[in-house]
Structure 1
Amino acid sequence: MKYSVFSVMAHDKTPEELIPMLKEVGYHAVEWRFKETPEEVRQEPTSFWRNNYCTIDPDISDQEIEEIKKMSEQYGIKTLSITPYLQDNIKDTEKVLAVAQKFNASFIRLGVPKYDRNEDFNQLFKNAKEYLKQAEKLCKQYGVKGLIETHHNTIVASASAAIRLLDGLDPQHVGVLYDPGNMVHEGYENHLLGLQLLGDYVAHVHMKNAAWVIDDSTKSDEVNWHVNWESIEKGIVNWDQVIKDLSTVGYDGYIGIEDFSQVDDTKNTLIHNFNWLQKWTENI
């Protein structure tokens, strides 16, 4: 297995700062966060999901793409994915695919509907299925695979939900970004079962961890819970077992670090995760 990093976790580093850092630590590839940053947000402190320095702007020029590609090639870091925050908009999807093709990226992340109880699941599913049929054709055209992510608060929180949505589509062109850390929030199924169920659709894996904790704001006899992000070795996901399960199904792709624990600074977090990855993959 090979190791990548989703740049969302390196919010205080620019792409030019992250690339040599990945090489120094030992990673093989990068997944670029792809999102516009409004001018008013740029005045804020850096953060994962708002003023994130390690983000590719959708308006990036061809010259800027070539500069990042040249630097990545210099350090031997593959651009694995261009990772946007798409909805089911096929025009926006094609724009991302065009940029991904210029980067020689393997993947983009496709859009799936959020689920918040305000819209009927069945209609959301129908719309998403139609979108994915169109996206599949574009992914084939551009030579970049489109992935849906197992993610809480969406209609594909679990492996079972993901395989139902992708049923009938070609796994050469669309697949699943399997994320056990997200499935702590919702969507948990035995990981080996889920990987066997998904089969050839498993294209990439994200590694992070989380745990349920009691909400301190509870002021009654009821107990409320929420999820906190944790270090990869301290959350609910047993990553040693997940990596063994990945090996069991013959997965030999990338494991992408996406650590939101904020236990340490960016570089030390990259080192910490790399060391744990090495330990666990040595056991398979």
Structure 2
Amino acid sequence: MKLSVFTVMVPDLTPSELLPLLKENGYDAVEWRYKSIDPQFEQENFSFWRNNFCTIQPNWKSEELLKLRKETEKLGIETLSVTPYLTCGDLEATEDVLKKAKLLGANMIRIGVPRYDGALPFSDLLQQAKRYVKEVEELCKQYQIKGLVETHHQTIAPSASLALRLVEESNPDHIGVLYDPGNMVHEGYEDYRMGIAMLGSYLAHVHAKNAAYFSKEQEGIKKWQGKWVRIDRGIVDWVEVMNALKESGYQGYVGMEDFSETFPSKEALAFNAQYLKSFVE
């Protein structure tokens, strides 16, 4: 297994500032966050999901993307993925991301999954998602880039088994699953070995982070909520997860995505690399 970083976790660093730090800390690849930044957010302090400096924006020109690719390759860092926030069914936006990913030399993109809030029947959302995945599969085959469904809370695919329902009719050469145990603290927990075994050849990538439950009183009732914590302090047993990955024969990447804010970005890169290397080396 090798290590990558999803750039959402380093919002105060520019891509050019990040790349040497990846090399310095022994990361093998980068996963570029891809999203427009609303002009009103640009006046704010940096943040993971609003004013994130380490983001590729859809309006970037080909020349800018090729320059970034050259910087990345010069340092021996692989561009593993381009990771957008796509809407399920939006094939035009999906193909645009694939085009940008091709220019950057990326191997994967994250594709859209319907959110679940109870407003629409699950069965309708599932059929919508499966149609979209099959259409995306053809695009991914054309661009030779794999499309990933991420296990994510508040969507119809919070677990390995539900993600599998979206991809199981597709060719795993073109469509796979991004397995995220940290997200599954919030929703979708299943036994790690079972989930990894269930996904089989559809297991294309893994994200590493952690969360824990915290409570507060509301009108005399204790309410529990999942919050991000550093990777060695949460509910996810990463020793168990990494052992399960090894037993399955997984040879892919483990991508760091630390939202705990325990350390500043540079320290977070160093700490998490050291922690994960204890498993992969």
TM-score range, shorter chain: over 0.9
Give the aligned residue type for 1:47. Answer: S
Give the aligned residue type for 1:230. Answer: V
The equivalent residue for 2:20 is 20
Alignment of structure 1 residues 221-232 onto 2, 5 Å: 221-232=220-231
The equivalent residue for 2:254 is 255
- Displacement of 1:73: 1.1
Q: What number of residue pairs does the alignment pair up?
A: 280
**CA–CA distance in structure 1, aligned partners of residues 15 and 111 of structure 2:** 22
The equivalent residue for 1:154 is 155
The equivalent residue for 1:210 is 211
Q: Deviations over 1:191-249 (max 9, x none)?
A: 0100000000000000000001112xx23332111111010000000001100000011
The equivalent residue for 1:266 is 265
Give the aligned residue type for 1:65. Answer: L
Q: Provide the secondary structure at the position in 1 that maps to 2:221.
A: coil
**CA–CA distance in structure 2, aligned partners of residues 281 and 40 of structure 1:** 41
Q: Provide the secondary structure at the position in 1 that maps to 2:149.
A: strand
User: What TM-score results when the alignment is normalised by the length of structure 1?
Assistant: 0.97
Give the aligned residue type for 2:28. Answer: H
The equivalent residue for 1:76 is 76
Question: Is residue 2:41 matched to residue 1:41?
Answer: yes
- Displacement of 1:280: 2.3
Q: Provide the secondary structure at the position in 2 that maps to 1:212.
A: strand
Q: Deviations over 1:70-121 (max 9, x none)?
A: 1101111111000000011111100000111111100000000001112211
Give the aligned residue type for 1:84. Answer: P
Q: Deviations over 1:144-165 (max 9, x none)?
A: 0000000000000001101111
User: What TM-score results when the alignment is normalised by the length of structure 2?
Assistant: 0.98
The equivalent residue for 2:278 is 279
**CA–CA distance in structure 2, aligned partners of residues 243 and 237 of structure 1:** 11
Question: Percent same amino acid at aligned positions?
Answer: 50
Contact 2:2 2:280 in 1 (8 A): no
Give the aligned residue type for 2:256. Answer: I
TM-align CA RMSD: 0.8
Alignment of structure 1 residues 188-199 onto 2, 5 Å: 188-199=189-200
The equivalent residue for 1:3 is 3
Alignment of structure 1 residues 96-245 onto 2, 5 Å: 96-215=97-216, 218-245=217-244
Contact 2:172 2:201 in 1 (8 A): yes
**CA–CA distance in structure 1, aligned partners of residues 44 and 175 of structure 2:** 36
The equivalent residue for 1:56 is 56
